[in-house]
């Protein structure tokens, strides 16, 4: 499959997935979802990939579902947005969560609707200073989907999540950092370079431990303290069985930088 609605570049251990419909602020179409499915397959099958970076082409990150698609026309009988969530959005988001490597989202402009919640699905989210986040759904009579009602209250608390969802106000990148919704923001002209450097740093790290870290932190959202301690024990056993752990300790003792392989 040739990609047109997205771009996929794999180099230096980093897969960069760029949403590529800049004239429509990279709104999701069925075609884009098909390409995303194929891209995720390639990323998972390529052992050289140790970090995923997601960004958008042009001035936007992603404006959510393309509202000109037939499914979004309330006048079309049997148009079922639930089917698209089942077939397109939900498997993609579950795939990102389960991906055994760090996922960095570099939000280069407006992130709205499902585009906002895709941005927040990154394990580490960075943004350009002029980027913004809008839970735009209420403006068109929908509820936040693509994980928004799960992730948002956990990141920023119920008060902010509820108001963001009901009022659909634009949250600036700086406000998002202040709220703890994202990690950092950078001047717009530095974002691509900073995000790439971050993804490269992660790709060169002990990526098996990163995968286990992400598993543990997300599991904590629904675990008791006691369950979480047990999970940490199990995952730490796995991490400690890795060659990266041996290398990390050896490098420390030999006072040299560690060479991690992700194994
Ligand atoms: C667009 C879009 C767009 C098409 C900008 N579609 N063309 C998923 C489905 C399945 C289940 C249901 O739920 C969902 C989840 C969702 O994501 S629902 C939410 C869908 N998204 C929206 O409602 C956002 C609509 N867009 C906007 O409100 C604005 O475009 C924002 C606030 C994102 C940006 O505003 P501006 O910076 O002023 O840009 P613009 O509005 O001028 O947009 C630029 C172009 O992109 C324009 O096209 P044109 O040909 O006139 O230049 C827009 O029509 C197009 N565009 N979003 N979602």
pLDDT digits (tens, 9 = 90+) for 200-233: 999 999 999 999 999 999 999 999 999 999 999 9
Nearest CA to ligand 1 atom 27: 63
Dihedral over alpha carbons 113, 118, 124, 126 (to 10 degrees) = -50
Give distance in angstroms: CA of 132 to centre of ligand 1: 13
Q: Evaluate: CB of 64 within 6 angstroms of ligand 1.
A: yes
Once rounded to an integer, what is the mean pLDDT over residues 132-150? 98
**Per-residue confidence (pLDDT) for residue 51, from 0 to 100:** 98
Once rounded to an integer, what is the mean pLDDT over residues 77-96? 92
**Per-residue confidence (pLDDT) for residue 139, from 0 to 100:** 98
- Look at residue 74 and tell me whether its pLDDT is greater than 80: no
Structure tokens at 229: 């301690």
- Look at residue 76 and tell me whether its pLDDT is greater than 90: no
Give distance in angstroms: CA of 27 to centre of ligand 1: 6
* % of the chain beyond a pLDDT of 70: 100
**Per-residue confidence (pLDDT) for residue 75, from 0 to 100:** 80
Find all residues with CB under 8 Å of 209, minimum gap 6, and list them. 239, 242, 244, 245
CATH 3.90.226.10 occupies which residues in the chain? 6-203
Give distance in angstroms: CA of 110 to centre of ligand 1: 10
Q: Evaluate: CB of 250 within 6 angstroms of ligand 1.
A: no
CATH 1.10.12 occupies which residues in the chain? 207-253
Q: Evaluate: CB of 147 within 6 angstroms of ligand 1.
A: no
**Per-residue confidence (pLDDT) for residue 240, from 0 to 100:** 98
* % of the chain beyond a pLDDT of 90: 96
Specify the CATH superfamily of domain 6-203. 2-enoyl-CoA Hydratase; Chain A, domain 1 (3.90.226.10)
- Look at residue 64 and tell me whether its pLDDT is greater than 90: yes
Average pLDDT value for the chain? 97
Confidence of residue 61 (pLDDT cuts 50, 70, 90): very high
**Per-residue confidence (pLDDT) for residue 174, from 0 to 100:** 98
CB burial class (10 A; 0-12, 13-18, 19+) of residue 203?
Answer: buried
Query: Which of 112, 115, 121, 152, when mutated, tests ligand 1's pocket best, judged by the most ligand atoms within 8 Å of its CB?
Result: 112
Give distance in angstroms: CA of 196 to centre of ligand 1: 27
Give the span between the Cα atoms of 35 and 28, in whole angstroms: 11
The CATH number given to 207-253 is 1.10.12
- Look at residue 73 and tell me whether its pLDDT is greater than 90: no
pLDDT in tens, 151-206: 999 999 999 999 999 999 999 999 999 999 999 999 999 999 999 999 999 999 99
Hey, which residues does 52 pair with through a beta bridge? 15, 103
**Per-residue confidence (pLDDT) for residue 190, from 0 to 100:** 98
Query: Which of 19, 25, 64, 168, when mutated, tests ligand 1's pocket best, judged by the most ligand atoms within 8 Å of its CB?
Result: 25
**Per-residue confidence (pLDDT) for residue 233, from 0 to 100:** 98
- Look at residue 33 and tell me whether its pLDDT is greater than 80: yes
Q: In Å, what is the CA distance from 35 to each residue of 5, 18, 253?
A: 7, 11, 46
Task: Return the biggest CA–CA distance within the chain.
Answer: 69
Find all residues with CB under 8 Å of 76, minimum gap 6, and list them. 70
**Per-residue confidence (pLDDT) for residue 79, from 0 to 100:** 72
- Look at residue 20 and tell me whether its pLDDT is greater than 80: yes
Once rounded to an integer, what is the mean pLDDT over residues 240-245? 98
Give distance in angstroms: CA of 35 to centre of ligand 1: 20
Per the listing, tokens 């602020």 go with 25
Query: Which of 5, 31, 58, 64, when mutated, tests ligand 1's pocket best, judged by the most ligand atoms within 8 Å of its CB?
Result: 64
Give distance in angstroms: CA of 238 to centre of ligand 1: 44
């Amino acid at each position: 499959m040739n990609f047109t609605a997205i771009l996929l570049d794999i180099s230096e251990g980093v897969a960069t997935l760029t949403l590529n419909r800049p004239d429509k602020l990279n709104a999701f179409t069925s075609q884009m979802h098909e390409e995303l499915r194929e891209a995720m397959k390639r990323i998972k099958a390529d052992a050289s990939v140790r970090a995923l970076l997601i960004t958008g082409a042009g001035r936007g990150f992603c404006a959510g579902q393309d509202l000109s698609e037939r499914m979004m026309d309330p006048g079309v009988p049997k148009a079922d947005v639930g089917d698209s969530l089942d077939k397109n959005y939900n498997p993609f988001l579950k795939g990102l969560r389960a991906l055994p490597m760090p996922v960095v989202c570099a939000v280069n402009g407006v992130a709205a609707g499902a585009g906002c919640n895709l941005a927040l699905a990154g394990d580490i989210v960075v943004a350009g200073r002029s980027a913004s986040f809008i839970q735009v759904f209420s403006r068109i009579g929908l509820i936040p989907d693509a994980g928004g009602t799960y992730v948002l209250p956990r990141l920023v608390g119920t008060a902010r999540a509820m108001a963001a969802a009901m009022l659909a106000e634009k949250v600036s990148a700086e406000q998002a950092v202040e709220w703890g919704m994202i990690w950092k923001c950078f001047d717009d002209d530095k974002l691509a370079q900073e995000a790439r450097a971050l993804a490269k740093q992660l790709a060169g790290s002990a990526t098996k431990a990163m995968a286990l870290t992400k598993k543990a932190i997300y599991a904590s959202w629904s675990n008791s303290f006691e369950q979480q301690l047990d999970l940490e024990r199990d995952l730490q056993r796995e991490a400690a069985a890795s060659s990266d752990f041996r290398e990390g300790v050896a490098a420390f003792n030999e006072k040299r930088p560690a060479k991690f392989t992700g194994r």
